[in-house]
Chain A
């Protein structure tokens, strides 16, 4: 049971590529791999713990004010993440700028709380939150992998394209500047969605 809750959101019901949730804060941080990893980790932690807390509170919070309670819990967790990042990873925190705050309005968190945590026990909710965060992280890391590789020729800041390939050194290769610009993030996600859908369809067809 718990295994299924964990594995489903990674590929089959991936929150980003299948359900179109949580793209808002995702794409602006995908120019490089490192901030994308930090962002994925933060979202995973916030989703997991907010589902855990709200699932424990689910019987005490009146239905009518639940949205406000959810926002407060999520916002408090995001403040924690933001303060921790500011204290221990100042550079990354600068790069992420307002997008850490925007985790609050990430639709994955609100969507999973409404759909899962309010009707399930704390531990499965926690697993569900972590898994959805990781599903989101997979897309984020995939997008930023391609953007950093083709856009700047590095991965995690380390050069991977050999120096002598570049035109400046008499080679044939040049970085594709388009990959650094925002629109390319959308196109890469579009292609990833295509791959995911094509794969899922094939499975359904085989059955």
Chain B
């Protein structure tokens, strides 16, 4: 249990998707002009991470990892399919996003109105594929750890995008040098927020 909480805290603060790995920067910069839409996109990222990471974990563990196919046929114990992981992960993500979009549209129209426009964007959000690849690299042992990692990195992303959206809303009233407006200042503010987040470095429960 302690291990699981530790993974959560670590992926929110220490190894934040945005500030430590710059994942999902494109949508982070494009959709952070108002807090409301930023929160919508953040929630959608948490949602999709929570669905795709466990699926990819099972796929990685029982199909792709070296020797995983030995469960089906002992003669395949030598087979190592891990070179296929990029293509399978991205296919799972694209399919899951499509599926989630259809399910949400059918059963929760209110939620669909809030999340709907963001879901297609998410299939090519680096944070999602990055989550799967980090999960593969770190070799989590149980599925509970994977859930906690997914929730943590999604929440960290949510926190980052909502806070920069809040700052950018206030920023529209300040006097910034013209060539710096928009993209330039957004980069520098993200950098400063990253420095603030570095103070969490080394936290362990």
Q: Which residues of A are found within 8 Å of B188, using beta-carbon distances? A: 186-187, 190-191
Residue contact B23 to A24, C-beta cutoff 8 Å: yes
B24 at the interface (CB under 8 A from A): yes
CA distance A72 to B123 in the complex (A): 13
Chain B interface size band reads 35 or more
Q: Which residues of A are found within 8 Å of B186, using beta-carbon distances? A: 190
Q: Which 3 A-B pairs have the closest CB atoms?
A: A183-B194, A190-B187, A186-B191
A40 at the interface (CB under 8 A from B): no
A76 at the interface (CB under 8 A from B): yes
Q: Which residues of A are found within 8 Å of B107, using beta-carbon distances? A: none
Q: Which residues of B are found within 8 Å of A97, using beta-carbon distances? A: 137
A20 at the interface (CB under 8 A from B): yes
Q: Min CB distance, B181 to chain A, in Å?
A: 8
Q: How many residues of A contact B (CB 8 A)?
A: 45
Which of A17, A102, A107, A181 is B130 in contact with, Cβ under 8 Å? Answer: A102
Q: Which residues of A are found within 8 Å of B90, using beta-carbon distances? A: 71, 75, 104-105
Residue on B nearest A106 in the bound complex, by CB: B126
| Interface hits, B74-103 → A, CB 8 Å | 83-87, 89-91, 94
CA distance A72 to B92 in the complex (A): 12
| Interface hits, B129-182 → A, CB 8 Å | 129-130, 133-134, 137, 177-180
B195 at the interface (CB under 8 A from A): yes
Residue contact B178 to A76, C-beta cutoff 8 Å: no
16 of the cross-chain contacts (CB-CB < 8 Å) are A24-B23, A24-B26, A25-B23, A76-B87, A79-B83, A97-B137, A98-B134, A101-B85, A104-B86, A104-B129, A105-B126, A110-B124, A182-B20, A185-B191, A187-B187, A187-B192
Which of A102, A183, A190 is B195 in contact with, Cβ under 8 Å? Answer: A183
Residue on B nearest A98 in the bound complex, by CB: B133
CA distance A17 to B124 in the complex (A): 20
